[in-house]
Amino acid sequence: MAILEDTSSAPEPTAVELGLESAANPRSMFARGWEVFAENKLALVSLVVLIVIAGFGYLGPFFYHGNVTVVNPDDVTMAPSAAHPLGTDQYGLDFLEQLMRGTATSLDVGLAAGLIAAVVGAFYGAVAGYAGGWLDSLMMRIIDAFMSFPLIFALIYINTVYGRSQLTLIMEIGFTSWFGITRLVRGEALAIKVRDYVAASKMMGGRSTRIIYKHILPNAIGTSIVNTTFSIADAVFALSVLSFIGLGLQAPTADLGGLLDTGTQYASQGYWWLVYPPAVVIIAIIMAFNIIGDALRDAFETRLQKR
């Protein structure tokens, strides 16, 4: 060891060679998540479908104007034609325009109610899981009590008392569908609170609110986002069901479920254009959100991410 060749000719090793600097630029967790997501072709297709449907619902009315206000006895239940690409309904109103407005309404209610469910559910679950003990037990028993109650009765009651405006429906669907997310986030919180980084934060003197905001919620975000997509799909579906059984939005506002309800009344008379379009849009929205949710679940699984 003492006898050596002259080392002066040896080049200095670079930081990259020594592994001290990674050759590639550091990428954020979301950029790597996107990579995994983009590998799921079905999810990409779903994303495109969703964008197209949203464009149809929100931007469509700017480019296409049909008669949706004046009852026109001459035009009732006309089959699709150049003047009415999707025909007309029993009042002679243009169905394409109605479908656009119905899609926008369904998405509005679905997104708003889904987000309410996600936010309320995540916070409630994070607090219950982190607190543990009797508070956790109490909070979860409350959830159990809600879940054991047939919600349809509650909805009928709320609808009768508070009316059937868009806001009421958002609130009632939102505040009755957060239980699932709560349970999942609570489970995550139970697992996260025993991690060393939570212990480290406590040791530095970190308080509970800080730990929930900085450590529990960000690490439960994967679960939350995935389930938000599912809860949006569920909310769209719930609204359709409510409208279908006549508990949906007050006329003249109609959502996809309401349109479908009207359509099915005339289905036996062969007015297919009043049935299939709203049904297809409902199915497409729900399927797209569900597939995207699945792909997001993979994307947030760090093990599948590449550096």
Partner 1 sequence: MPLLELKDVRTEIRLKRSTVHALDGVTLSVEAGQTLGVVGESGCGKTMTAMSIMRLLPNGGAVTGGEILLGGRDLTALTEAEMAKVRGNDIGMIFQDPMTSLNPTMTIGRQISESVRIHRGVGRKEAHARAVEVLSLVGMPSPQRRALDYPHQLSGGMRQRAMIGMALANEPKLLIADEPTTALDVTVQKQILELIESIKERLGMAVILVTHDLGVIAGRADKIAVMYAGRVVETTNTETLYANPRHPYTEALFDSLPERGAESGTKLYSIPGLPPDLTEPPAGCRFAARCRYAQASCREQDPQLTGETSEHQYACFFPVGEVERSAKAVPVTLTEETSAEAIPQSQIGEPLLTVRNLVKDYPITAGAVLRRKIGAVSAVADVSFTIYQGETLGLVGESGCGKTTVGKLLVGLEDATAGEIGYGGRDLAADKHARGAVRREIQLMFQDSYAAMNPRMRVRSVLREPLDIQKVGDKASRDKRIAELFDQVGLPRTALERYPHEFSGGQRQRVGLARALTLAPKLIVADEPVSALDVSIQSQVLNLMKDLQVEFGLSYLFISHDLSVVRYLSDRIGVMYLGKLVEIGPAESVYANPVHHYTRGLLDTIPVADPAVEKAKEDKGIVGELPSAIDPPSGCRFRTRCPAAQSLCAEQEPPLVEFGTNGHLAACHFPLRRFDGDAGEPAAVGEVVLPSQPDAIDDATESTTA
Q: Which residues would be at the binding site for partner 1 (CB under 8 A)? A: 1-11, 13, 15, 17-22, 26, 28-29, 195-197, 199-206, 210, 214-215, 218-219, 221, 302, 306-307
| Residue with token string 């109609």 | 254
**How far apart are the C-alpha atoms of 37 and 46, rounded to whole Å?**
12
The tokens for 90 are 């029993």
Nearer to partner 1, 17 or 144 (CB): 17
Nearer to partner 1, 30 or 64 (CB): 30
CB contact at 8 A, 207 and 264: no
Helix (H, G, I), strand (E, B) or coil at 88: strand
CB contact at 8 A, 33 and 300: yes
Cα 269 versus chain centre, distance:
36
**How far apart are the C-alpha atoms of 184 and 99, rounded to whole Å?**
35
**How far apart are the C-alpha atoms of 4 and 187, rounded to whole Å?**
61
Which long-range contacts (C-beta less than 8 Å, at least 24 apart) are formed by 98-101?
98/66, 98/68, 98/254, 98/259, 99/256, 99/259, 99/277, 99/278, 99/281, 100/56, 100/57, 100/60, 100/61, 100/64, 101/57, 101/61, 101/68, 101/254
Min dist. Cβ of residue 224 to partner 1 (A): 13
Nearer to partner 1, 18 or 161 (CB): 18
Nearer to partner 1, 36 or 259 (CB): 36
Cα 67 versus chain centre, distance:
32
Nearer to partner 1, 149 or 197 (CB): 197
Complete DSSP assignment for 147-195: HHS-HHHHHHHHHHHH---HHHHHHHHHTTS-HHHHHHHHHHHHHHTTS
Nearer to partner 1, 74 or 196 (CB): 196
Nearer to partner 1, 9 or 268 (CB): 9
Nearer to partner 1, 210 or 276 (CB): 210
**How far apart are the C-alpha atoms of 56 and 65, rounded to whole Å?**
13
Min dist. Cβ of residue 122 to partner 1 (A): 15
